[in-house]
Every structure is written in structure tokens, then in C-alpha cells.
Amino acid sequence: MELFVTLAVAGILVGIAMPSLTTFVQNTRQTSEANSLIMSLDFARSEAIKEDANVLICASADGATCSGNVNPGGWATGWIVETTSAPITVLQAMPALGANNTLSAAFDAGAGLANISSVTFQPNGFVQAAAGSNIYNITYFTLCDIRGAAWAHDMEISPIGSVRSSSTAGQTLAGAALNCP
């Protein structure tokens, strides 16, 4: 009889703790993936300054070449940091994100956001203007998981190349609600 009571109490405790454990694991995974991107962005910027040359970070499915994937969530296949002058050298390769996670990158083109597949840091550490324009605005990265936009993570690169991350889930640094693909 005592064994049944103990098992019943243990079952109740596991039932209460399991959702919290799942949320903890999801939060930890998302934070880890966001930190990986932030470290890669900071690395690309520091290499551009150190080498006095443009350095590119781009979505990559194979860890060796840029995929050119501008689709929402296209960065989830992984990314690379590479030099832009010949010979092109991959300086860092990051693997795909965990299952069901998406990572999107967009550039504020002035008339709305435009999805992008790469970001180039110049030798002065600034972000290069979007192709074909002289617009220097914020670049946004949005990391989403199966919980949706309310739990999404925002990372932003300013025109001068500094990388910041929102501390509030589901919101940009400015407090606007995030959207997931």
C-alpha cells in the first residue's frame, strides 16, 4: 500500500515537472542557437577589421558555400563566415539549427523588410549597404521554434556593425512584436 502511495505521488510530481522541463530545454536550445549566431556575427566583424577586408556571413546548406537562400527561415540550414577576396576562404561554418527551428534575416530597405541571404562587414566594421542601394539600415535576424512568435528571439545589426539581442521573447529591441515564417 505504501508503495502505491509513493508511486502515485511520484507520478503527480513528474506530471507537474515535465512541462516545465520541456520549456526549459526549448529555451536553452533557442538561447544557445541565438548565441551561436551572435558569436558568428561578432567574429565576422572582428575579422573584417583585423584583415582590413570585407568578410561575409551567409546562409549555407553545406558548410562550404553560400546557398543564396532568401526564403523566410532559410538560415536554419546553417551559415558560414568567409572572406570575399580571392581566394575565398571559409573562416567558420555552423551547422543547421535544431528540428523545427527557423532563422530568418531581413534588411530594413526603408519601404519595408527585404529578406537577405548574407551580410557583409567592411574593413571599418560597418555593415555594407544592401546590393544596389546606398541604404544603411538595421539588419534583423529572427529565430523561431515550434512555440511560435511569442517565443521568438530577435537579434539586430546596426549600420555601424554592432550586434544586439532583445532580452524579451517575442519582441524586437524597439518592443514591436515579432513574426515567424
State the amino acid at position 58 in one-letter form.
C
Tens digit of pLDDT for each residue in 51-83? 999 999 999 989 999 888 777 778 999 999 999
Tens digit of pLDDT for each residue in 85-120? 889 999 999 999 987 888 988 887 666 678 888 899
Q: Check: CB of residue 96 under 8 Å from CB of residue 175.
A: no
Domain 2-165: CATH superfamily is minor pseudopilin epsh domain (3.55.40.10)
CA distance 101 to 25: 13
CA distances in angstroms from 96 to 23, 42, 123, 145, listed in the order given: 21, 19, 28, 13
Total residue count of the chain as it appears in this document:
181
Instruction: Quote the pTM value.
Output: 0.84
The residues, ordered by sequence, that sit 6+ positions from 159 with a Cβ below 8 Å of its Cβ are 126, 127, 136, 137, 138
